Amino acid sequence: MKSAPIFDRAVEMIQDRLDLISVSHRLTSGNLANATTPRYVAKELAFQKTLQESMQDQQVKLTTSRSAHIALEGSAVAAAGAEIRDEGPVNVEQEMMKLVRNNVDYQFMVAMLNKKFAMLKNAVTEGTA
């Protein structure tokens, strides 16, 4: 008889999404830090494309526009096939909105993870704790 895993695929998916949020935050922070740097080109994580590819087949390859942009090897983001693309000059207002959106996404994913663990705790303690 095969035993059911303690964590279903949801926890792994939440972890992957949190990893993507982390990379997006680092890229956006770097864009803001370099907003006044001459000829600096803003970078962005191509999340929608990455998400669609990862849902089609679970083996998506890492793609970046330049090899020196960011080292993702060995991370869940690399496994998810994150693509980083150049976006042109830095628009500070747009980058700040990305940070806000990223923060909301992060809080939502952490709330989902907390809910998942609360359900596991309830199952383990049979609702008595």
Length of the chain: 129
pTM of the predicted structure, to 2 decimals: 0.66
Give pLDDT, residue 68: 52
Give pLDDT, residue 98: 93
Domain range annotation of the chain: 9-124
Give pLDDT, residue 123: 86
Beta strands in the chain (DSSP E): 42-45, 63-64, 83-88
Give pLDDT, residue 57: 52
Q: What is the mean pLDDT of each run of 10 residues along the chain (129 residues)?
A: 63 90 94 92 78 56 53 50 71 94 96 92 81
Give pLDDT, residue 84: 72
